[in-house]
Amino acid sequence: MAKRGMLIVLSGPSGVGKGTVRKEIFSQEGNKFDYSISMTTREKRPGEVDGKDYYFVTKEEFENEIANGGMLEYAQYVDNYYGTPLKYVNEMLDSGKDVFLEIEVKGAMQVRKKCPDGLFIFLTPPDLMELRQRLINRGTDDIAKINKRMKTAVEEIEMMQNYDYAVVNDEVPRAAEKIKTIIRAERWRVKRFLPDYKKQLGDALK
Amino acid sequence: MAKRGMLIVLSGPSGVGKGTVRKEIFSQEGNKFDYSISMTTREKRPGEVDGKDYYFVTKEEFENEIANGGMLEYAQYVDNYYGTPLKYVNEMLDSGKDVFLEIEVKGAMQVRKKCPDGLFIFLTPPDLMELRQRLINRGTDDIAKINKRMKTAVEEIEMMQNYDYAVVNDEVPRAAEKIKTIIRAERWRVKRFLPDYKKQLGDALK
């Protein structure tokens, strides 16, 4: 039996640019992991392809999947469901392939509970440190509004604690390269490397 | 105050090629970490430079350092002491620099206890899986000797559990590149990244 693949989860606050970074990663050759396509009930937009951008399903089909325990994670945004079908992910992992998910933070926390051994990467905005100064300099927001934005920033950073790695999305190619470096390095973590290595040694001892 | 640097420890079984891989890493430009030079009581060999290859000291000087708590780790091999002076390592870490140690496994375990947050990389021989077959094919060792070597191999692998990463030394440039990838990625681990990020945010909230 093949060594089970690694589940890679890229997440981060809404608007941080997860999709753009993910597309940058998958526009490059030589990745040793596959992208898990999400399922959604929202309307297909012009140019989108079923089974490539999303699996487009009806609300009833999605709710059936949920009822049958067929979703690894899901969430509702603006009356539509978004989620990751479990079947495809499991098939890939079982065949030894690493699987890459790009999902919202709520979904990521559902996955963390089910797959604690996954690799969780948090994409974080570059401007948190400069945010306040920029907001003040701009002079359009009052101090209450600035403080509210800073509070949201703090909450976002707190979420980071549930992840293994954090990458600042200052430039998309740079963030993509860092994420690929993390995925490479993570394969040599002893907890991932040792079981397989021991198994091979076990075979050698026979 | 600068963020404290990361302590990087490369270790592995005797004869695995730690020194060769370390030299390969430091022969390259652009490393963002410094090598911590070991202290020893052994004779200086032709070509070796004091303060570059080792700090060469007398047995009395070394034992004084031990007595004064001046060694981060040390061990005795063939009547000579080898170890890492604490002072230099601490100065570099305090100034925010990452420090690279290349030490024996016993020393590495001493460091792990004192610096649990260090980055511990285990260099492992490439041939464990093939070792038995090669020994059998060679036909020079009897089965008892082969089994003893395999037992040593198993013990070496067990030590790996105390490390964060394991890298197979199949080719020196390849192993060096993997170690550099690990060091890069490790800087984005949330536990290393978050304290500094929070501090910067704290400043922004003032």
Residue A197 pLDDT exceeds 90: no
Q: Name chain B contacts of A200, Cβ cutoff 8 Å.
A: 128-129
Residue of A179, A181, A188, A198 to mutate for B, most B C-beta atoms under 10 A: A188
CATH number at residue A131: 3.40.50.300
Q: Edge-to-edge, what's the strand order for the sheet holding B98-102?
A: B33-35, B98-102, B7-11, B119-124, B165-168
Higher pLDDT, B134 or A151: A151
pLDDT of residue B150: 77
ipTM of the complex: 0.83
Tell whether B63 is covered by a domain. no
Its domain, for residue B16, covers 7-36+98-205
Facing A188 at nearest CB: one of B153, B166, B203: B166
Which residues sit opposite B83 in a β-bridge? Answer: B39, B74
Q: What is the mean pLDDT of residues A10-27?
A: 90
Contact at CB, B194 and A128, closer than 8 angstroms? no
Count of residues in chain B: 206
Per-residue confidence at A118, pLDDT binned at 50, 70, 90? very high
Sign of CA dihedral B54, B43, B102, B53: positive
A58-92 pLDDT, tens per residue? 999 999 999 999 999 998 887 899 999 999 899 99
**b/e B81-106 (16+ beta carbons within 10 angstroms → b):** bbbbbbebbeebbeeebbbbbbbbbe
**Residues sharing a CB contact under 8 Å with residue A179, sequence separation 6 or more, in sequence order:** A10, A21, A25, A121, A167
Supply B170's token pair.
Answer: 């199949």
pLDDT of residue B70: 94
Facing B150 at nearest CB: one of A130, A132, A205: A205
**Residues sharing a CB contact under 8 Å with residue A157, sequence separation 6 or more, in sequence order:** A124, A128, B194, B197, B198, B201
Tell whether B51 is covered by a domain. no
pLDDT of residue B165: 97
Number of domains in chain A: 1
Q: Are B114 and B2 in contact (CB under 8 A)?
A: no
Sign of CA dihedral B199, B200, B201, B205: positive
Residue A3 pLDDT exceeds 90: no
**Residues sharing a CB contact under 8 Å with residue B151, sequence separation 6 or more, in sequence order:** none
Which residues sit opposite A34 in a β-bridge? Answer: A99
B70-88 pLDDT, tens per residue? 999 998 887 899 999 999 8
Contact at CB, B190 and A163, closer than 8 angstroms? yes
What percentage of residues in chain A have a pLDDT greater than 90? 60
Residue A205 pLDDT exceeds 80: no
Tell whether B121 is covered by a domain. yes
What CA–CA distance (Å, rounded) separates B54 from A91?
53
pLDDT of residue B202: 66
Residue A1 pLDDT exceeds 60: no
pLDDT of residue A202: 66
pLDDT of residue A129: 58
Q: Are A195 and A203 in contact (CB under 8 A)?
A: no
Mean pLDDT over all residues of chain A?
88
A38 in a known ligand binding site: no
Distances (CA, A) of A172 to A10, A23, A34, A103, A206: 14, 10, 20, 17, 49
Facing A201 at nearest CB: one of B157, B185, B188: B157
**Is B133 part of the contact surface with chain A (CB cutoff 8 Å)?**
yes
Tell whether A2 is covered by a domain. no
A160-194 pLDDT, tens per residue? 999 999 999 999 999 999 999 999 999 999 999 88
Q: Name chain B contacts of A157, Cβ cutoff 8 Å.
A: 194, 197-198, 201
Residue ranges of chain B with per-residue pLDDT less than 70: 1-2, 127-131, 134, 201-206
Tell whether A1 is covered by a domain. no
